[in-house]
Structure 1
């Protein structure tokens, strides 16, 4: 290897190393679970938000202003502010709840619930565990999924605004 190539590769490695630490710190913050007591969440959230997010309630259909939200931006968890959905995946499902055909990577975690006797796939914010809604296999392509979300469990951040810092 020529000296010039060695120097170029060395500088590239230094550049990668300089960015690796900040990127890993951000990734660690996002992937770190946020644990608060129910009493702490009750102090931070509106009663309807707390009921849906931490008591797994459901808001009334057609009650969320987010149902009609069409601007470009992100939908974030109302509890911890983790981005969960992009507007580009939102669609009108006719169910009365904001619906998306795909979640952002690492945004949600799923589990099966039997509250209505038949199994349904429930999803939660992967960071704080806040209940968001249920996912069904009757959505549009390209995924065929319908993430049916309680609007009160989300906040909308328009594309031209900065996302809030994640709650700690």
Structure 2
């Protein structure tokens, strides 16, 4: 066996051994309790502003400190801008200093997570459980009781004040 064949065999063995873990890491965690909304690309474009479309449908990110929701601290609920599903309670909102609305917990069962490797290192991305709209990423540097920071694009949310 020459060196090239040895390297190929080693690479192939590594891929075979790593495949189950890579597939699991990219797996979407979903909630089957929420009925999914399916729309065509044209329907989403009619429903959303260009900025909302870029974030919700193309997994884009709005500029930091650009959302008025970043400094919104009234009592109420934050809904998905795509389908109006409530995603966060104002009771879980905090100022993370990052420039995006941040929460320490979503409403149970209303978001789905998946691994994101766009920036090389893995991150946990989350989406609305009903329309699949991209909301943001979750990090483990938030306050108690969860220690999590659900960092959300403000353009992907709509605030509904408490009655």
**What TM-score comes out, normalization by structure 1 length?**
0.77
Q: Which residue of 2 aligns with 1:133?
A: 136
Distance 1:129 1:38 in 2: 13
Deviations 1:13-53 (A, max 9, x none): xxxxxxxxxxxxxxxxx711001112110000100000000
| 1:2-151 equivalence runs, <5 A | 31-151=34-154
Corresponding residue for 1:10? none
Q: Tell me which stretches of 4 or more aligned residues in structure 1 moved more than 4 Å.
A: none
How far apart, CA to CA, are the structure 2 residues paired with 1:39 and 1:134? 26
2:34–2:110 Cα contact (<8 Å) kept: no
Q: How many Å apart are 1:106 and its aligned residue?
A: 1.0
**1:118 aligned counterpart, secondary structure:** coil
Distance 1:91 1:65 in 2: 14
Alpha-carbon separation, structure 2, partners of 1:39 and 1:98: 28
RMSD across aligned C-alpha pairs, in angstroms? 0.7
Q: Take 1:144 and 1:105, find their aligned partners in 2: how far apart are those partners?
A: 16
Extract unaligned runs of 5+ from structure 2.
1-32
Secondary structure of 2:88's partner? strand
Gaps of 5+ in 1: 1-29, 161-168
Q: Distance in 2 between matches of 1:37 and 1:119?
A: 29
Q: Separation in 2 of the partners of 1:50 and 1:69?
A: 22
Q: For 1:152, what is the secondary structure of its paired residue?
A: helix
Q: How many residue pairs end up in the alignment? A: 131
